[in-house]
Structures are given as structure tokens and as C-alpha cells.
Structure 1
Amino acid sequence: MESIQQRIKNVREENHLSLAAFAKSLELPESVYSQIEMGLLIPSYSLMMTISSIYAVSVQWLYDGINKELPDGNTGLSPALIGKILKFRDDRDWKQFHNPKDLAISISLEAAELLECFQWSSSDTQVVEKKQAMREELADVLIYCVMMADALHADITSLVLEKLHKNGTKYKVEQAYGNSKKYSELEQ
């Protein structure tokens, strides 16, 4: 099976670029890129996002060789936004603390803070008054989700598309339309 490094090299070769030209397009020193291609360095998620953005291949394919083509349309967070999130983290040297367990806890805590915006709310007026707080907590959840995807070396767009497909088989439109039941209850 092809390695990540081999797939990246294939992207370079398919675009008829020298090692130096490809490294320059990624804003990497040639020596660093050379070490990646030789398998001496593991490419970061942000580098994979950059390759995906510039050369129109999916991050998921770079990681695991599945689904090379990018999905049609704007179906995910932009590589630039993901890059900003990861740069914010890296500028503070926080990646060392971002293991899947702690990121899952952080996602859950931020989701609980979002839920807190609705605590003791009995009217739409009260909810509207807390809209800014809701937006901020939702942003925190999304930021931690991006960091979790990075820790798992997972492409967010591919994850969401795969899950939507899986849910589509569980929740057929003709059974689930306008119905809040769980899929196991719909089949009855």
C-alpha cells in the first residue's frame, strides 16, 4: 500500500514539478520537503490542507488513499480557516496538550457551555438576548472539533459526508420526514 509520502510525491509528479518548485509552492524549505518525501518527517495536518487546497486532492486521500477527488461545492471549513485555527494553536505551543481524550473532554465542556445559554430560558426573547454568547460557544465547539480532526489525522469534509451518507441509509426520507423518532423505531 502507498504511504502518505508516496501520495504526496505522486501529486508533485502529476503536476510535473521539481522537488524545489513543489516545496516553494507549499512555502517549505526544500530540505524540509525532501525529508517528508523520503519518509523522515511526517507531514502536519495543516500541510496536508495546503496540498489539498493548492492541488485539488482530498486530505482523506493523502492520509489513507481513499477518495482522491475533492467533493463538489463548498461543503466544509475552508483550508485557510482550518490553517488559522491550527496556527493559533501552534503559535502557543498547545498541540502538546491536544490528545484525543483531552480534546473530547474540551468539546463536551464547550458544548455544555452552549447548552448553558438555554438554561432557565422560557421564552424566545431570552434566547435571542443570549445569541452572541451562543455564537461564541458554538465557535469554541467548532475550533475544538478542528483540533480533534487534526489529532486524528481526519479530513472534516470527508467525515461529515461519510456520516451523512450513513445517516441517509438509517433515516430514509419517506420514513423519517417530519418524524423525530430514532431510526430503530422508524423501521417498526
Structure 2
Amino acid sequence: MAEKLGLEEEAYQRIIGAPSSEFLEQLCTTFGVSRTYLEEGSGHLFTERPLPIANILAFRDARNWKQFHTPKDLAISLCLESSELLECFQWSGEDVHVGEKQKQMEEELADILIYSVLFADSIGVDIPTIIEKKLRKNAEKYDVKKAYGSAKKYTEL
């Protein structure tokens, strides 16, 4: 961390013991860490955590699997992995036993996200762009004043 902040290790150790506001700001900016989390220990640790898209595509390419990754097959794989996530909840009697199933849920969610990246690549779309477009569209459908605290579909609000 010290090196990435442009500090010698000794200086970093001194500063970290009693960090100044400027140092905290530099830490947050450099590593994308939430200031609230650092100061209060609440909220999200990171302000932004980009998907490791390049790593996912490099993993695929190193194995020459792109040839098998058609949109149809990736859509099928997404559904299968989503079904495996649902298995975590089957016969549970409750919504979730988080402690018991956390590791399995994480692995299935990772598979879903990996296949989502591969699917986006196969149809030639940029994930941040399509998410932003969808969020704007949903914001129009689900006005905060009408949708706040409601699980109703936009057609019922």
C-alpha cells in the first residue's frame, strides 16, 4: 500500500497510526475505499469495485473456449447457474440459512457473474453502459415517491 501511495514503508507506518484528513482522502481516492467505512466502520468498504472483466476474458482465451461461447449456450449456462443458486434455498423452510450456505451462494453467484461477462462479450455490449441505461429506464418506471418501500411492479404503482 505504501508504494502505491508514493510513500516509504516507514513513513506509511507512522501516518497510518494517526492519519490526517488529507491522508484518508488520498487512501480513499487511490484504493476506492469508502471514507465512511474508514472513519466509522459502517457502510460499504469500497466506493466502487469494477468487475475483473479482463481477467475473465483472459481466462477464457487462455483455454481457447471462445469458440464454444455462443449467445445461446451462454444464456443456457446463465440459467443453469441461476438454478444452482436457487438450490441453496430449496427445502430450507426459510428464505436463507446464510451461515450454512454462504460459501455455496458466493460460488454460484460468481459463476452467474462470470457467465454474464462472457455473454456480454459474445453479443458485443459494454456492461457499465447497459447497466446505466437500464437504471435510467427503471428510474422512470419506479419513481421514488411511488415506489419507496413498495414491492409492487411499476404497472401497479
Say yes or no: TM over 0.5.
yes
User: Aligned partners of 2:153, 2:96: CA distance in 1, in Å?
Assistant: 31
Task: Report the counterpart of residue 106 of structure 1 in structure 2.
Answer: 77
Output the amino acid matched with 1:74. E
Match of 1:74 among 36, 39, 48: 48
Higher-RCO chain (CA-CA 8 Å, sequence separation at least 6): 1
**Identical pairs, percent:** 58
What TM-score does the superposition give when structure 2 sets the normalisation length?
0.66
User: Aligned partners of 2:152, 2:67: CA distance in 1, in Å?
Assistant: 41
8 Å Cα contact 1:103-1:144 kept in structure 2? yes
1:120 and 2:94 matched:
no
User: Aligned partners of 2:154, 2:90: CA distance in 1, in Å?
Assistant: 29
8 Å Cα contact 1:86-1:147 kept in structure 2? yes
1:135 and 2:106 matched:
yes
1:180 and 2:154 matched:
no
1:36-80 alpha-carbon deviations (Å, 9 max, x no partner): xxxxxxxxxxxxxxxxxxxxxxxxxxxxxxxxxxxxx73742xxx
Any stretches of 5+ residues in structure 2 without a counterpart? 1-46
1:146 and 2:120 matched:
no
Any stretches of 5+ residues in structure 1 without a counterpart? 1-72
Output the amino acid matched with 2:48. N
Pick closer, same or farther for the CA change 1:125–1:154 going to 2, 3 Å: closer
Pick closer, same or farther for the CA change 1:125–1:162 going to 2, 3 Å: closer
8 Å Cα contact 2:89-2:96 kept in structure 1? no
Structure 1, 125-134 or 153-162: larger mean CA deviation: 125-134
Output the amino acid matched with 2:143. K
Output the amino acid matched with 1:168. A
CA RMSD for the aligned pairs? 1.7
